[in-house]
Every structure is written in structure tokens, then in C-alpha cells.
Structure 1
């Protein structure tokens, strides 16, 4: 592309994602600080951390709907300033309210990175989208490795305050700001290929229902009375899911007259993201007293994820994206069950490695599936998936926190294994749909 420095922009995007990822590692480490030193309950910490996820979703949805109007560059700089404000506020956090507000800004910054950089990567590399999306997303687990090692070194080995750890975020923030400064940013793939905004909306399948569903999920994650009403029994969630499913079918098939492939991918993203991010965010409490520091386990998990994503191209080529997702779900189930029964350091590391193989390809491959098989969903489709993944995690965090308090870590891990069990069946169905679509 004329006037576009693909290599510099890709590196800048990767460093922006690095900042996002390090914030996740930092949150995983400082949950115990706010519980032990500041006196917050685990469920309250889960709610205070939740804006990092639903704020992510809000920014991604807004970016997906408006990126072609305000341009990718504007979303990138919004991410930079939201990150800056969020880091400053997190440094000053000392109670539930201040921690909550800091996570709102960090969530908005993180979501803006994904909203801008996923379509940027596909625009830069239109002929190898899934491969380069996996390489871009190397920096999410890679950043968590960096953050985990920094946390262990700064807070545990050097016994420095947690604020020193947070302040380290300013370094990659400054670098990615410098790399983006003054650069020509290409149009999104939708614009460059001439797909209309209306057609992009239609290819999402049920954009109104999906958007309203995510708004409802944000309310469940943040309004205690709504959350209690939804989780008070097993019947209410089932009824809500059935109502949403019917609404998606009506909007997608009867109104938009299009396949429901994207809504299926959307549903799978809710479960896959919760499996990955819910577990890693609570890892310090879930794997305490296993004979090895939880931050080391987090480093092992995310390190293996980074390596796997870097070499994802050949695996995706051999198995195709839905095949990769089926294997990922199976390994995720096995990893969580092994983690629930592990008793020593060695077994815990092996179990964590199995889990890492499982969740490794979930996120980028889900986005890649949408980009490959529903290409006209454009930047909006990618943003909806990323946003949905994080808002689902925002819902599951306080639920996991309560479960850890009431039932304990082992039962919580076993409960989480139900999500990838469902995904095994869903991805098999996705594989059949994609195969039939190819032969149609």
C-alpha cells in the first residue's frame, strides 16, 4: 500500500496490545492486595475489576460501529489517552470506587486497541488474515508473561510496592504512541473492498439483538439486583437464553434473510473468552497452595499460548480454523479437570500446560473464523466478537469470586470446565456448517 509502513504499524499495534495484556497480568497479581491489604471482599474485587472487561466491550462495539466514520487513527489515539488516564488512576486506587473507575478507563483503552488494530491487521495483510491475527495476538499472552514475571520480580523478589509494577506500563505506552505518531493509517478492509455499511450490518446476522444482549450482560455484571435475579435459580438463565436465541433467529432469518453463522460464532466467543480470561484473572486464588507461585503458572500458560499463536499458520492450514477450535475445546476441558485435581508443583505445571494448549487459539481463531467465513461483517464483526468476549468475562468474574468464597477453588475450576464441554459440541456444529457452506 502506497505511503503505508506495514512493518512499523504492525509493531506499533503489537505494542499497544502488549500494554493491554500487561494490565491483565497486573490485575491478576493485585487482586490479593485489595483483598488482604485494603479489606475488600473477593466478590467486590471481582465487580471492581469487571469494568476492565465490559469497558473493553463498550469501546469495541463503539469502534466497530463508527471506525469507518471517525477513522482508525482516531480510535488508536483514543486508546492511547484512555490507557494513560487509566494507569494514572490505578496508581491512586485504594478502595472499591477508585479501583472501579480506573478499570473503566483501562477497559475503554484496551477495547479501543482491539477495535482499531484487528481491522488494521486484516487491512495490512488481506491475503493471510488468520495467520497474522494469530501473530498479532501473540502479544496478548506474551504481554501477560511479561507482566507476570515483572509482578514476581517487583512485588515478590524485590518487595517493592504494587504501584511500581503499575508504573512500568508507561514504557510500552510511550513506545507505541511514538510508533503510531505521524503514520498513514489505511482504510478498513470493508471500505477498501467497497462493501456498504448496510451490507456489513446485515452480515452480522442479528446486530440489534446481539447489541441489546451485550448491553443486558453489562447490566448483569454491574447491577447487583439484576445479577441476583438472573442467578437466583437455574430456570431464569435458561429462559433468557431461549428468548435471545428466538430473537436472533427472527432477526437473522426472517428480517435480514441471512445465515446465522455469525451469531453462532458470537455465542461461542462468550464461552471461549470466559474459559480463558475468567480462569487466568482469578489464577492467584484458584491455584494458591499448589506448591508453586500462581504468577509462575500464569507465565507458563501465557508463554505457551504465545509460542502456539506465533506458529499458528501451519496448524490452521492443516486443520482449518473450526478444526483447531474443536481441538482447543477438548484440551481446555482436560486442562481444567487436571488443574482441579493437581496437588504438587510438577502436576500443576503439566496441567496448566494442557490448559494453555486448549485456550491458546480460541481468541484469534474466533476472530479469524469471522473474517474468513463472514468477511462482509467487517470491522463491526471483529469488534462485536472481541467486545462480547470481554463482557462475558465481566459477568463471570464476580460469579467465580463468589464461588471461590463459598465452594472453594477446586469446585470453581470444575464448574468452569462445563463451558469448554459445551464448546466441543458447538465447534463440531460450526465445522459442519462451514464445510457445507464451502460445498454449496
Structure 2
């Protein structure tokens, strides 16, 4: 990898790259809090909400891989400029949703909900394309700007994601939804707030000069694809898909799964994001003392136990936060440390190796984790309510059965479920205003719901809580599988003399070990050249 001349303002480029993830985190956090307003205004159900969340990752996964190839071909700056413009387009689509829905209600009321779903879906998809382009640019850029300590600076870079989720989560808690701490604003303002940060990093980064990519200097463009000939790299790809499923899949549903447990469930996402933000700044010293594969193994075990704890029947709010703290220690280092491993072991592959990992992780979230966790929660909710309160289930049952990821069930009516979840029952009385004012509940069905609210609402909320807990418990096997995979990699690296950091030697045309970089290994830093470059 070429030396980085002093002419590059790497501190400014680092901050701008950090801000791209802040913008992405804000958009992610605010979107996860939009389920309630969308249910009330557009009659969108849990499956449609999950599909929109999934769209927020699908484009990310596709673009981060192909974007990595494009980065190596066209350079960092052109791709960053395209992402900047598309991000603003995504924000504009959010403001178009309500006027379009109002028009469709007059001209095509039967398809108004499905039409506005398409607008929100494609807005999230465009947003995710921007995220993919950012990741395709900033991961190899920072690895190239800081070749002496890639894993540490990649962890600091990816602290921007939880920083954005903190800002977006606080904004959502204050201004999005019926339980907003200050006042409920139109949801569009919350979801489009990321555009402020987009403009900030655009002003900061786009005038700057960027270094050349590995693909522009390696001599042979085919060199950057050599990572795919490595079996350990293919194992890393599978493991990163599981990381995406667990970390971002759970984060996508955290606020929905924790409803009825906390006064405003967005605070659990803010809290875990804060912990992740802080912990990622300390990844460098940890990785220098511990083999990064060992860190990934330990993080997987902690994540598994944390999800089991969060899925248990916890009653105390304090214990929920203790369990969330434990889980956060597990998930904090996984994503950026994996990117660091790709950068350290496959420097000749530039952005393609990192892009391949990110692509699989995001596609797994968008196409598997989001919809599957939603299906698990909906199935467990419906089954529990049908078994525990069949009469209540009959009143709240939706009209159409669904089949998703092996789960066949009839979900609850989204408007009725949202109204029931918005009612406070701790006082001993059940206020029915949420049901009376719900525009999307048929008027002829409201009298029965109001008359039975005293028994129905607690039953619905209890089943909703049960479904959320079961979804978290069922997700715990994912980090368990990750732990097995990282254990296998740990054994493999031990067998070849330990985990060593490599650099791309342009004269030799291959990756070679960097002397003195073994991440806590006690073995000699001199490794067999063939073993070092054959994976």
C-alpha cells in the first residue's frame, strides 16, 4: 500500500468519514421509531414496517460490495459525491409521503396504503444505497490513511454509527411518537434530520484531495480480488453475515420489542448505542493485548448470553438496563474489528475485501434478520394471545393470514394493536381514547373494543411483550454459531504461527508480514511466507 503524503488532510478526512456514519446512525434510529406514526397515519402493519427496515439494509448490502469495486476503479471522491446527492433525494421522498397519501385516499383509497408503503420503502432503499457507498469509501480510506493501526482507527471510525444512533434516538424520544418526551412533531422532520449532518460532511470533505486507491496503484486490477481464493476469508464472510443478523437485526427491532417494558422504548437503543460509542474508542489497546480473533470469539459468547438475558422475563427496568449493558459489551467490537481483520490480513484487496464483508452483513439484515425477527415476534404474539385470551384475539385478529420464514399465522390488526399499546394500564383503569380516536379502526368495531378494553388491553400488551422476548431468545443462537466459527479461526491461526498483520508489497505483488505486529502473540513475528500470503 502506498505511503500517505502529508498533503492529505487525514484528520479532516477522518472527521468527515466519521460524520457519514453519524448521518447513517441518525437515519437508522429515527426510522426504527417511526413504526407507531406509520401505523396510525398509513395503517402499515408489522410486516410492512419490517420490510421498510429491510430496505434500509438491502441497498446498503448490494452497494457496499459493488461500490468497493467502483471505488477501486474510479476513486474515493466521485463515489462520495454521488452518495451525498442521493442522501438528500432520500430525505425529499420522506416529505412527499403524506401529500401523496392524501391524494391517493381521494383517488385510489384501496391502494393508498400500499402506494405510500412503496414511497417509504424506496426512500429507505435509496438511503441504504448511500450508506453502502459511504462504507465502500470510508473503510479502505481510513485503513489507507492510518496503515500503522488500522483496527484501532476503524473502531474509532465506526463509533460514528452509535453516535448517530444516540443523536437520532434522543431526537426520536423527544419528538417522534405519542410518547414523545417534549412534543410530537411530524415524523418527517425526525427522519430527515440526518440531512443536516450530510451537508456538514459534504462541505468538509468534498473540497479535499483524496489518496489513490489500492486498485489505482497495484498495477493489476485482478490483485484486489485475490481474497476470494482464501478459505479463511470465505469463513469470515459467513461470520460477518451472522454479525449483521444479530447486531443490526436486533437494533432494528429493539424499540418495537421493548414497547410496554419502558416508558419510551427508544431510550434502550440510545443507551446501548452510548455504550458502543464509548467502547469502540478503547478497541485499540484491547486488540494490542488480545488476538482480534480471540476478541471476536469472546464478544460472540457475551452477545449470546446477553440476548438470552434480554429475552428472559425481566420485570425490573433496572435489570433491563443491566442486561442491555452486558449485551452491548458483546456486540460493540464485532463489526469494526472484522473490518480491521480484513484490512490487516488482505491489504492487497483494498476496499473489495471490506466491501464483501459489509455487503453480506447488510444483505443478511435486510433480507433475513429484519423480516425474520418481525415474523418471529408476530407469530409468538398471535399464538400467545390466541392461547391465553381467545376472545380478545378474535376481536384484535387481522383479516388476512400470512406466511413468512416458516411461520404461518394471522397477525393482529395493526391499527388495533397500536391503539392497545398506546394505552396506559398501570393506574388500574383503562382509558379508551386511543381506540376512540384511531382513524384506521372501523367505526363499527370500536364499541366492542371499548367495552372490553379493561381485559383486552392488558392481554394484548402482555402477549406483545411475550412475542418480543421470544424473538430475542430465538436470535441468541446466531452469536452461538459465530462463537463456533471464531473458535475454528483461532485454532487455524495458531496452527500457522499466530495472527500476523500483513502489508501489500508493490514490488513483490503480494502481502507480506509486518515485523512486530502480532496482536499479543508470543510466537516469532517471522512467519512462513507461503502461509502468510496463501489466505
Report the TM-score range of the alignment, normalised by the length of the smaller protein: 0.7 to 0.9
Question: Is residue 436 of structure 1 aligned with residue 495 of structure 2?
Answer: yes
Structure 1 residues 355 and 292: CA distance shift in structure 2, 3 A: farther
Higher normalized contact order (CA 8 Å, seq sep 6+, divided by chain length): 1
**Mapped partners of 1:2, 1:353: distance in 2:** 41
Q: Following the alignment from structure 1 to structure 2, what is the Cα–Cα distance between the partners of residues 291 and 137?
A: 28
Q: Does 1:63 align with 2:34?
A: no
Q: Does 1:276 pair with 2:263? A: no
In structure 1, how many angstroms separate the alpha carbons of the residues matched to 2:54 and 2:42?
18
Counterpart of 1:98 in structure 2 is 119
1:103-159, Cα deviation, whole Å (9 max, x unpaired): 111011111110011111011111111000000000001110111011111221222
2:168 corresponds to 1:147: yes
Distance 1:74 1:166 in 2: 26
2:362 counterpart of 1:303:
no
Which structure 1 segments of 5+ residues have no match?
206-258
Do 1:26 and 1:166's aligned partners in 2 also have CA atoms closer than 8 Å? Answer: yes
8 Å Cα contact 1:93-1:99 kept in structure 2: yes
CA RMSD in angstroms comes to 1.4
> Counterpart in 2 of 1:420?
479
Q: Which residue of 2 aligns with 1:315?
A: 286
Match of 2:235 among 249, 259, 264: 264
Provide, for residues 195-238 of structure 1, a one-character-per-residue CA deviation record: whole Å limited to 9, x for no partner. Answer: 63212212222xxxxxxxxxxxxxxxxxxxxxxxxxxxxxxxxx
* Counterpart check, 1:198 vs 2:222: yes
Residue 360 (structure 2) pairs with residue 403 (structure 1)? no
Given candidates 288, 293, 296, the residue that maps to 2:264 is: 293
The residue that corresponds to 2:187 in the other structure is 162
Q: Secondary structure at the match of 2:97?
A: coil
Aligned residue for 1:243? none
Q: How many residues are treated as equivalent by the alignment? A: 386
User: What is residue 218 of structure 1 aligned with on the other side?
Assistant: none
Provide the C-alpha distance between the structure 2 equivalents of 1:129 and 1:195, rounded to a whole number of angstroms.
Answer: 23
- Looking at structure 2, the residues matched to 291 and 179 of structure 1 have their Cα atoms a distance apart, in angstroms, of 39
Partner of 1:179: 204
Given the alignment of the two structures, is residue 124 of structure 1 paired with residue 95 of structure 2, yes or no? no
**Offset of residue 92 of structure 1:** 2.4
Equivalent position to 1:133, from 143, 154, 157: 154
Matched-pair contact (CA < 8 Å) for 2:245–2:361: yes
Mapping 1:4-23, distance limit 5 Å: 4-23=8-27
CA distance in 2, matches of 1:438, 1:133: 25
* More deviation, 53-62/263-272: 53-62
Larger deviation, residues 425-434 vs 359-368: 425-434
Return the offset for 1:412: 0.8
What is the aligned partner in structure 2 of residue 360 from structure 1? 332
Greater CA radius of gyration, 1 or 2?
2
The normalised TM-score by structure 2 is 0.70
Partner of 1:73: 77
Whether the aligned pair in 2 keeps the contact of 1:93 and 1:102 (CA below 8 Å) is no
Matched, 1:331 2:302: yes
SS at match of 1:204: helix
- TM-superposed CA distance for 1:69, in Å, is 1.5
Q: Is the 8 A contact 1:91 1:166 kept in 2?
A: no
CA contact (8 A) 2:214 2:349 kept: no
- The DSSP-based 3-state class of the residue aligned with 1:284 is helix
